Amino acid sequence: MARHAPGSGGDDDVTPGHEPFAPRASDTGDAPAAEVAPDGTEPRLVAWSHRGAAGTAGAATAASADPASATEADEADEADDEPAPRSGRRRLAIVGGVVAAAALVSVVVSAVLFTSGSAPLAAGAPTESARPTTVARTSTPTPSATPSPTPTAPATPSPRAATPPPQDAAVPAPFITPVAAGTVVAEGDLASPKGSIHLHYRVVAGGDDTYATELTDATSSLPVPVGVAFYQVAPSVGDGVTYGGDGGVELGASVTTPTAASGSFGSISQPSYLSTLVVHSTSTSSDVPVEISAGKVLAVAPVAWSVPPRQTNIVPVDSGAVAFASGALEATTASGAPKRYTVAPDDLIDVVAQRFGISVSALLYMNQGLQVIDDAQHLFEGTTLVLDPDSV
């Protein structure tokens, strides 16, 4: 079959170089399109690359015009049919390597997503920016401007008022019958070492757990006012006192005529713990001898109390130390009954009351203003509790 030429056979619309069939060597006088292998096997096909349309058309036109030119065109075709040069193969190898690396990266990313529990994005699903990986810090992070508060235990427990348990409402309310009104519970005389002060005193019950100090035949030749009061700890003449004592009475300066005066003990319902009567200067002037300046003790006398026993329904008996009531009994009465108790660590008010056979209400009655810690009502370690009703 002869090579197809443009314009022959009514195939003018066929683009040169894109003929339906490639020409065979037997049909043309051109160089063969395939080479015979040296060993006589099948011919080796040579890659066939298309030339551009413009170049092909130009070659065909030249062949029809000049046979010599046609021969040169055929030689050019043979040259085009040679295998791709080595540089082209390198470019193909590079492109292939890039494609393979991309495929490997895709496999690795898919494996990471699978092991981390992330699901691949569905088609059309919105993408989100990559989340930063958490990195272990080696330096201390800067705190935020307003850090969240961390609950901390207070340095010292917050005290609260002790309260009796609900079951105490079913037991009789504690009581201590007051000393009858007009009863004299202490009486005596006092004189200063140099004889400048003389007085007679007595302490009288008011009938409502109150007491009053009464002075009679009181004289003082000192040019400064003096105070007479009761103290728990006995000072010595010449010492200084910093507070006025209990049941205090005031005498003026230079009292030459025997005088009567009185004072009150306030809320003290049992004054017998005040063992000493003291006279001291109450001068406010700085222009006086130091021996009679403010606070100087001028006279001291011991007090003998005779407070009669009071009626009560509080009768404590020590049953021994137990858990949550393991403190020490510090004092007992003449009859051996518990008198004072020192709180141990972890003591609870209700367990301490049970140890001594009394109600929490009775314990609070004898220890007004007692404070505890938390809802369980732990007692403060080291607190001294009064257990003797007659000492209240």
Write the pLDDT tens digit of every residue in 145-176: 444 445 444 456 689 999 999 989 888 999 99
Residue 356 belongs to domain spanning: 161-166+312-391
Q: What is the mean pLDDT of residues 313-330?
A: 95
Given this model, what pLDDT does residue 207 score? 92
Query: Does 357 fall in a domain?
Result: yes
Considering only residues 289 and 77, tell me which one the structure prediction assigns the higher pLDDT: 289
Q: Is pLDDT above 80 for 18?
A: no
Q: Tell which of 49, 83, 117 closes a domain.
A: 83
Question: In terms of Cα–Cα distance, which of 187, 159, 165 is closest to 307?
Answer: 187
Considering only residues 12 and 209, tell me which one the structure prediction assigns the higher pLDDT: 209
pLDDT tens by residue, 37-46: 445 545 554 4
210 confidence band (pLDDT: 50, 70, 90): very high
Which residues, 6+ apart, have CB-to-CB distance to 374 below 8 Å? 157, 160
Q: How far apart are CA 143 and CA 59, in angstroms?
A: 81
For 274, phi and psi rounded to 5 degrees? -85, 100
Shared-domain flag, residues 296 and 191: yes
Q: How far apart are CA 228 and CA 248, in angstroms?
A: 5
Q: What is the mean pLDDT of residues 179-198?
A: 95
Shared-domain flag, residues 298 and 317: no
Whole-prediction pTM value?
0.52
Shared-domain flag, residues 353 and 371: yes
Considering only residues 65 and 254, tell me which one the structure prediction assigns the higher pLDDT: 254
Instruction: Give the CATH number for residue 298.
Output: 2.60.40
Shared-domain flag, residues 382 and 362: yes
**Cβ 317 vs Cβ 338: under 8 Å:** yes
95 confidence band (pLDDT: 50, 70, 90): low
Shared-domain flag, residues 329 and 298: no
Rounded mean pLDDT of the chain? 76
Number of domains in the chain: 3
Q: Is pLDDT above 70 for 206?
A: yes
Query: Does 288 fall in a domain?
Result: yes
Least confident of 107-116, 297-306, 383-392: 107-116
Residue 278 Rama label (left phi>0; alpha psi -120 to 50; beta): beta
Given this model, what pLDDT does residue 103 score? 73
Given this model, what pLDDT does residue 108 score? 65
Cross-strand bridge partners of residue 190 = 199
Q: How far apart are CA 384 and CA 388, in angstroms?
A: 12
Q: Contacts by 300-303 with C-beta closer than 8 Å and gap 24+?
A: 300/234, 300/235, 300/236, 300/237, 300/276, 301/188, 301/189, 301/190, 301/276, 301/277, 302/234, 302/275, 302/276, 302/277, 303/186, 303/188, 303/230, 303/274, 303/275, 303/276, 303/277
Report CA 239 to chain centroid distance, whole Å: 51
Shared-domain flag, residues 268 and 369: no
Query: Does 122 fall in a domain?
Result: no
Instruction: Give the CATH number for residue 348.
Output: 3.10.350.10
Q: What is the mean pLDDT of residues 206-216?
A: 94
Least confident of 82-91, 95-104, 285-294: 82-91
Q: Tell which of 302, 331, 358 closes a domain.
A: 302
Shared-domain flag, residues 281 and 346: no
In the chain the first and final C-alpha atoms are separated, in Å, by 143
pLDDT tens by residue, 362-372: 999 999 999 99
